[in-house]
Structure 1
């Protein structure tokens, strides 16, 4: 996620420079041809109407992409809050029960592993070594090769909570409270998977992109009456539409491991720090720092 306020123009232009360059060359060629052939065009009214209609369509396009991004951010906000609540209530519920620290740590450390597994799996990156320090060796060995580790880890924590209730460390009400939070985490992970595995509607994104480029080809014909200003004004208009299209592409998949995506690994690190601090650990990891204004 981009968090720097000094975003350079080069970063914005990086992914759209080729299209902008081609359209700019086309604008120059059309402007030169119209001047050379002394053709007088007056299509500004038609181009303006098309531009207005396309602007409305682009507004819906970027709004739909942002809705996906914002939903993903809210889901991971719930993951952070639910993880803190789960650890806090488990610690409070077992405070007077005489539960050995290693048993408490195993459940809370597994919760840390769950969040890391969620984040890395959504980005389709390897994470078995990442979660290894938070799990017992035999449990980690048992999980290697499984297809949905976050789901299995949530199940293991559910078993652990149920076992604590069976051993008298938790009351039935407390067990149900913690179980509800595990269910909520399962739902959050499922919602994240839904966003990840449901591609943005291809006809919507594809034809919008086609229309933007077709409009860009028409722009110099509508600006011909501006004489010397035809080239700069045409390029400026084309740049605006290409930039809006690129912004929509950048944010429509919030778990694609790109610079504008949800910083799931940084959020997982925050959860690790908070939960370890709640346990009373003295040695805590450092927060993930942004690089060049980008937090991943």
Structure 2
């Protein structure tokens, strides 16, 4: 996630410089043909304007849909944060030591349930950031993150072994969906605590409801991850923008040629500005449609997982709790 109020010119140019060079060379070449070789390249601007209007509506629809996917992903992780805090509070308030019948004596159980949950959210983060079949890992949005050293490729094993026993980690990482099995282990542990009278029936129902909530939010995130933005919208949006960009200079040359003389050259800067606007609208939609792909517009799952870890470990009154993840070069992962 980009955190600065203004996007730096360097990042904008990293997206746009190749396109701007093409726009300049393409329009300058057509102007040369029109001015020096007297080729009648100009056409009426009316059909081009109609195409531009249709393209703007189409790209606007795509961008709105992409933003909805991005914002839904952020809402999902916001719900996970809230439910995680509730999980920590319920664990400390409800679970007692089955041997001493004391909540104060259940610190080991509290730590086990809370550490396993921290492992769960980190496992979910790593799963969601695995490369999709349709994901474009060579796009500029990914390149900016890679070049600045922010790419999140942390190993699942190392993230889990910091919070749960190694023998359990080996079992979880061997599964196709480790996060699902970690939460299943939470449910089994809760059932064992209930059967040993370490937790009341009412509390057991509340905490199992949280297990269901985590599964619901995980499924919602996986729906976004595993179902791509419909290709018919993404593909034709790009095709229509490219078509408009290719025919636009013919209309501009016609309009500026009416002014006479060398003023036809004004079509070049005019074309570059208009083409860049449409090109940027298309790129913004492309970089927002997959919010879990290690790109600059990603949901900052690493920072969110750290926030959950800090909150839960402070509930346990642990020492040496790590600090929040800070943006680096205005990029928060």
TM-score relative to the length of structure 2: 0.85
Report the counterpart of residue 174 of structure 1 in structure 2: 203
Report the counterpart of residue 161 of structure 1 in structure 2: 190
Equivalent position SS for 2:299: coil
8 Å CA contact retained: 2:73, 2:221: yes
Equivalent position SS for 2:284: helix
> What is the CA–CA distance in structure 1 between the aligned matches of 2:234 and 2:25, rounded to whole Å?
25
* Residue 271 of structure 1 pairs with residue 308 of structure 2: yes
Cα deviation per residue 1:160-189 (whole Å; 9 max; x = unaligned)?
Answer: 111111111211111011001111101111
> What is the CA–CA distance in structure 2 between the aligned matches of 1:271 and 1:97, rounded to whole Å?
23
Report the counterpart of residue 290 of structure 1 in structure 2: 327
Cα deviation per residue 1:130-154 (whole Å; 9 max; x = unaligned)?
Answer: 1111002322233232211100000
> What is the CA–CA distance in structure 1 between the aligned matches of 2:68 and 2:119, rounded to whole Å?
28
8 Å CA contact retained: 1:16, 1:246: no
Q: Equivalent residues in 2 for 1:125-140 (5 A)?
A: 125=153, 126-140=155-169
1:278/1:21 CA distance change after superposition, 3 Å? same
Cα deviation per residue 1:195-224 (whole Å; 9 max; x = unaligned)?
Answer: 111111112111111111111011111111
Report the counterpart of residue 68 of structure 2 in structure 1: 67
Displacement, 1:119? 0.4
Superposition CA RMSD, Å? 1.5
> What is the CA–CA distance in structure 1 between the aligned matches of 2:243 and 2:3, rounded to whole Å?
34
Report the counterpart of residue 10 of structure 1 in structure 2: 10
Equivalent of 1:194 in 219, 223, 230? 223
> What is the CA–CA distance in structure 2 between the aligned matches of 1:146 and 1:213, rounded to whole Å?
44
Gaps of 5+ in 1: none
Report the counterpart of residue 236 of structure 2 in structure 1: 207
Report the counterpart of residue 150 of structure 2 in structure 1: none
8 Å CA contact retained: 2:2, 2:332: yes
Gaps of 5+ in 2: 97-101, 131-152, 257-263
> What is the CA–CA distance in structure 2 between the aligned matches of 1:270 and 1:43, rounded to whole Å?
58
Deviates further, 88-97 or 281-290: 88-97
* Residue 244 of structure 1 pairs with residue 281 of structure 2: yes
